[in-house]
Chain A
């Protein structure tokens, strides 16, 4: 009796394998995104991919084959990103990987992608080191040093800043920002007056802010993730700090304004995406994205992260469609693509695999809305 059940089980498994074999008429790409830790950034990135895939498949897929994306969780850790990568490459046999999202994790995965000749496209890794990580490593956002140059120049020329201070998030991203922006401010002749830092997960910034208040300053720059930067600015305002505030592109989210409330007024930050970018593609994307956001109150709302992965997924699909799925063919397409009609701009890639577009947008919060200033 028991043996019969065993045979039944075996035949079901074998049959199941057969069925999945039949369904294999699909092209797979992988995605490594922040789906648990930092899901408020990772879920919008996932939606961007899903919107792109839905459009591509509705239009007949790639050469008649349906595009399928396998999502893995980045878990904000390099080892988790590496094992997600290995699973995608060895088990799912994906052609291209979108992700990881954080610079440190991209740098951990990059050597493996080089070895296996798998194209990876990071949507959000801003570290300059990614430029040199290898020819199979691409990136869909502007390097942090270019963001820094744009922000500091704006601070000096338009805001007439003379005494900036930095309150940074003490992890690789915030620390890198601190070094880089300090350098940029110094080069512009407005050296940073003082620097303080906080930990990821901190919600109490009173010690640092009290200390910063000891010396007069006219610009408070807070690089980090909005989970910390929003409460930090709201505490600063409550403590009577009135200096202009400035942040990096993570602050470009309705959540930032919601968390910081009135304290967000006048905040300046850079962004990769302009919602009012006037193209039919962007309008279509925006409608699809906001339909998802409006349908579920729990759905995090961040059009920028969705916009970048939307563009990168369409680029990857286009590469496979025009040149075929072999890694060097995908590379060949990405290296030569010109003025791709993306929602984050007219896209191409430079020789380091970094995206090239019109430059960095700067936004200011005015009456609870982001208004483009440059």
Chain B
């Protein structure tokens, strides 16, 4: 059972990590917490589900889902955050919470309050190894998430745009002085973070077979915790934080009690923060 629960934890953890990357990148570069990250995830899922229902094409649906998430992310940056740049950090935070409520209410108005199933049935084939079972979909979630994380790392470290983002994260004034378009860097960051949250939303819409306007709330909260757990602003930290959180809550539910499954995630968070207040990989 241990191995099976580890697999379950890894699948959930990968999704937390993807959303946590959005939080941590935006925090790293702008110093703000984007509490609407869970809603971006939800719009990604809806974009894919609605497109798939309308066209029947999975690649098109995935593209539409990512596009929807990116659009919401960019609009957020433009209208909820850019006008407030340079104000006290609490103000964009409130703006983010407001945007989050607005976006989920808007989704309820546009899409209706009901859960939607994913309009495609997946082959329930699974692989056995050492007594644990992993379905094709679970394997796909883990692989896609890992691939995205690697791609993100490559983008940030090897491309010009990526390096520009890193530079702005270190010191935005110095970056501007050396000729980097800071606004473009912000937009790119939001695009990347939103795209990853969007992919996470699409994966979960497939895996859990349920898409609803309030689906972003809990994963958003857990991903936020994952980002803090890993050290806010640190990209490998967000990945490790997500995985640790996913595994911790599954093992806690398995060996202690499922009545407190959500609590284990947050207990893990508190413990790490007591021992290491800056998070697992956070900078001082």
A residues with a Cβ closer than 8 A to B are 36-40, 43, 170, 196-199, 201-204, 206-208, 210-211, 214, 226-227, 230-231, 234-235, 238-240, 255, 258-259, 261-262, 298-300
Find out whether the CB atom of B113 lies under 8 angstroms from the CB atom of A201.
Answer: no
Chain A positions within 8 Å of B5 at CB level: 207, 210
A197–B105 alpha-carbon span in the complex (Å): 28
Find out whether the CB atom of A40 lies under 8 angstroms from the CB atom of B114.
Answer: yes
Find out whether the CB atom of B113 lies under 8 angstroms from the CB atom of A43.
Answer: yes
The answer to whether residues A197 and B259 also contact, given A206-B250, A300-B112 and a CB cut-off of 8 A, is yes
The 8 A CB mask of B36-78 against A (1 = contact, 0 = none) is 0000000000000000000000000000000000000000000
Return the chain A residue nearest B8 by Cβ: A206
Return the chain B residue nearest A234 by Cβ: B209
Chain B positions within 8 Å of A235 at CB level: 208
The answer to whether residues A261 and B209 also contact, given A199-B261, A206-B11, A208-B258 and a CB cut-off of 8 A, is yes
A230–B133 alpha-carbon span in the complex (Å): 22
Nearest 8 pairs of A and B residues by beta carbon: A39-B113, A298-B112, A203-B208, A207-B253, A206-B8, A40-B114, A207-B250, A196-B258
A255–B209 alpha-carbon span in the complex (Å): 13
B111 at interface by CB-CB < 8 Å: yes
A43–B109 alpha-carbon span in the complex (Å): 13
Q: Name the segment of B156-164, B182-190, B214-222, B274-282 touching the other chain.
A: B214-222
Contact partner of A259 (CB less than 8 A), chosen from B4, B8, B115, is: B115
Return the chain B residue nearest A210 by Cβ: B4
Find out whether the CB atom of A39 lies under 8 angstroms from the CB atom of B217.
Answer: no
Chain A positions within 8 Å of B8 at CB level: 204, 206-207, 210
Chain A positions within 8 Å of B261 at CB level: 198-199, 202, 207-208
The 8 A CB mask of B1-43 against A (1 = contact, 0 = none) is 1001100110110000000000000000000000000000000
Find out whether the CB atom of A211 lies under 8 angstroms from the CB atom of B259.
Answer: no
Find out whether the CB atom of A259 lies under 8 angstroms from the CB atom of B117.
Answer: yes
B121 at interface by CB-CB < 8 Å: yes
Chain B positions within 8 Å of A299 at CB level: 112
Beyond contacts A202-B218, A211-B1, A258-B117: 5 other A-B pairs, Cβ-Cβ < 8 A, are: A198-B258, A204-B8, A207-B249, A207-B261, A208-B258
A203–B217 alpha-carbon span in the complex (Å): 12
Chain A positions within 8 Å of B113 at CB level: 36, 38-40, 43, 300
Chain B positions within 8 Å of A262 at CB level: 121
Chain B positions within 8 Å of A227 at CB level: 115, 210, 212
Return the chain B residue nearest A39 by Cβ: B113
Shortest C-beta distance, B213 to chain A (Å), equals 10
- Across chains A and B, the number of contacting residue pairs, with CB separation under 8 Å, is 95
A150–B210 alpha-carbon span in the complex (Å): 30
Find out whether the CB atom of B210 lies under 8 angstroms from the CB atom of A170.
Answer: no
Return the chain A residue nearest B205 by Cβ: A203
Shortest C-beta distance, B259 to chain A (Å), equals 5
Shortest C-beta distance, B139 to chain A (Å), equals 13
Chain B positions within 8 Å of A226 at CB level: 115
Find out whether the CB atom of A298 lies under 8 angstroms from the CB atom of B262.
Answer: no
A258–B211 alpha-carbon span in the complex (Å): 12
Chain A positions within 8 Å of B115 at CB level: 40, 226-227, 230-231, 255, 259
The answer to whether residues A210 and B1 also contact, given A201-B218, A203-B210, A227-B212 and a CB cut-off of 8 A, is yes
Shortest C-beta distance, A252 to chain B (Å), equals 15
Q: Which of B121, B218, B258 has the most CB of A within 10 A?
A: B258
Find out whether the CB atom of A231 lies under 8 angstroms from the CB atom of B250.
Answer: no
A93–B112 alpha-carbon span in the complex (Å): 32
Chain B positions within 8 Å of A239 at CB level: 133
Chain B positions within 8 Å of A38 at CB level: 113
Find out whether the CB atom of B1 lies under 8 angstroms from the CB atom of A214.
Answer: yes
A255–B113 alpha-carbon span in the complex (Å): 12
Return the chain A residue nearest B135 by Cβ: A238
Return the chain A residue nearest B255 by Cβ: A211
Chain B positions within 8 Å of A198 at CB level: 258, 261
Return the chain B residue nearest A300 by Cβ: B114
The answer to whether residues A259 and B218 also contact, given A204-B12, A214-B1 and a CB cut-off of 8 A, is no
Find out whether the CB atom of B259 lies under 8 angstroms from the CB atom of A231.
Answer: no
Return the chain A residue nearest B137 by Cβ: A238
The answer to whether residues A238 and B210 also contact, given A211-B1, A259-B115 and a CB cut-off of 8 A, is no
Find out whether the CB atom of A201 lies under 8 angstroms from the CB atom of B254.
Answer: no
Chain B positions within 8 Å of A259 at CB level: 115-117, 209-210
Find out whether the CB atom of B114 lies under 8 angstroms from the CB atom of A211.
Answer: no
Find out whether the CB atom of A231 lies under 8 angstroms from the CB atom of B249.
Answer: no
Shortest C-beta distance, A91 to chain B (Å), equals 25
Q: List 17 A-B contacts (CB under 8 A).
A: A39-B108, A40-B114, A198-B258, A198-B261, A201-B217, A201-B218, A204-B11, A206-B8, A206-B11, A207-B254, A207-B258, A208-B261, A227-B115, A231-B208, A238-B124, A239-B133, A255-B115
Q: Which of B124, B214, B259 has the most CB of A within 10 A?
A: B259
Chain A positions within 8 Å of B12 at CB level: 204, 206
B243 at interface by CB-CB < 8 Å: no
Q: Which of A235, A259, A299, A300 has the most CB of B within 10 A?
A: A259
A262–B122 alpha-carbon span in the complex (Å): 12
Return the chain A residue nearest B253 by Cβ: A207
Return the chain A residue nearest B121 by Cβ: A261
B191 at interface by CB-CB < 8 Å: no
Return the chain A residue nearest B218 by Cβ: A201
B105-147 contacts to A (CB < 8 Å): 105, 108, 111-117, 121, 124, 133, 135
B196 at interface by CB-CB < 8 Å: no
Contact partner of B262 (CB less than 8 A), chosen from A199, A238, A255, is: A199
B199 at interface by CB-CB < 8 Å: no
Shortest C-beta distance, A75 to chain B (Å), equals 12
